[in-house]
Amino acid sequence: MASVHDDPAPAARDRPRTGRAANVALALASLAFGGLLLEVGVRVYAWSIGRGFWENPLHFISPFFTSDGWPAPYRDGDVLVFKEGERVPREKPPGEIRVVCLGGSTTLPGVDAEGVSYPRALEGLLQGRFPGASIHVLNAGENAFSTAHSLVNFALRVLDAQPDIVTEYEAINDLSVNFFGTQTESDYANKYLTPYFLAFRHRTGLVAALGHVSRLVRILDNRLELFRAGGPGYDEHRDWRPPLPYFRRNLRSMVAVARTHGVGIVLGTQAARSTRRTTEGFDAYLKATREVAAELDVPLADVAGVVTGDELFVDDVHTTSEGARAVARAWLDPVARLVSERLHRRDAVATPPG
């Protein structure tokens, strides 16, 4: 006859199983709580830098292109706000000279400790050359902008600031258009309507669904996109020639818009590390900029021919703060000539003959 001790009581048999379930539940609860803390943390950080706790109030979407911020300038009452926080009255004061810099991320402040941009350095150089003159250099660059974006931004936004002079500084974002597919579109849609650039709310799939409710997911996915280098189908070995006619056309169109509205314009060749600058494709875009400037008799800042030290860059095209200062020095003379003409014209109007 078996002892009663040979068969454990049901409660004793269930205890290990219940303990495991409790541990799993505790682990899941801890993960959920940790995820919630991270989500709140990234939202608080986003709020602290002006990107909103719930949604980014600066997020910009248009049928033509997207970016991670509103193209500059944007209006705040009677004030126009540019990319480095510059705030200027929409109605330009008499005697003020405004220089607006167009371009992509290479026009924005650098990512090193000082975070200097070439527009900010250029303003100091111009003020030193023209002491006593009221000269403001305003930054209208934006991450990932190509000549197509800068052309639209110039015509629809920047002209509102009544610029006297604009600078145009592009190459890499136009060159890479054909890396995003086998057929280049004239509006660059084959590049800028890919998930790599498309606004998150317009994507589909599980990650997109999670991203609609979690900023943490959006941030992590964005970082993964950077490692994926453009997403599926991206290939830097594709022919770089198809976008080149559009690049030339966009530069010519910017010159036409500037001249129509009495704005001086300076075209610039984009500086880059030697590993990028000496490639056949990139060099072709530098040559195209020089050729359009000569063809239309437009001042040229040959930045690529002057800023050549690889130590001035943090990657192929983005500069250190010292590199940004070198870029500003390359812009100085051609921009200063146009500033001098404007000041001379203003003084001639202010001083009637006799």
The full 3-state SS of 89-134, as one line of letters, equals: ECCCCCCCEEEEEEECHHHCCCCCCCCCCHHHHHHHHHHHHCCCCC
Q: Number of C-alpha atoms within 13 angstroms, CB side, residue 12?
A: 5
Place of tokens 């998150």: 200
* Alpha-carbon gap, residue 277 to 263, rounded angstroms: 30
Residues carrying CATH 3.40.50.1110, the chain: 76-194+238-348
pTM for the whole structure: 0.79
Reference 117, options 256, 272, 339, 324; nearest CA is 324
Q: Residue 232 class from Cβ within 10 Å (0-12 exposed, 13-18 middle, 19+ buried)?
A: exposed
Rg (Cα) of the chain, in Å, rounded? 27
- pLDDT, residue 4, reads 43
* Alpha-carbon gap, residue 280 to 276, rounded angstroms: 9
- pLDDT, residue 10, reads 53
φ, ψ of residue 137 in degrees (nearest 5): -105, 120
- pLDDT, residue 3, reads 46
Q: What is the pLDDT along the chain (354 residues), one digit of tens a residue?
A: 444 445 555 555 555 667 788 888 888 889 889 888 998 998 898 888 887 887 777 666 564 666 777 789 999 999 999 999 999 999 999 999 999 999 999 999 987 878 899 999 999 999 999 999 999 999 999 999 999 999 999 999 999 999 999 999 999 999 999 888 778 889 898 888 887 777 666 677 788 788 877 878 877 876 676 556 666 678 888 888 999 999 999 999 999 999 999 999 999 999 999 999 999 999 999 999 999 999 999 999 999 999 999 999 999 999 999 999 999 999 999 999 999 999 988 777 665 555
* Alpha-carbon gap, residue 62 to 167, rounded angstroms: 24
Q: What token pair was written down for 223? A: 């970082």
β-strand pairing of 97-103 with 135-139: parallel
- pLDDT, residue 1, reads 46
CATH architecture of 76-194+238-348: 3-Layer(aba) Sandwich (3.40)
- What is the C-alpha end-to-end distance of the chain, expressed in Å? 134
Reference 224, options 246, 194, 184, 196; nearest CA is 196
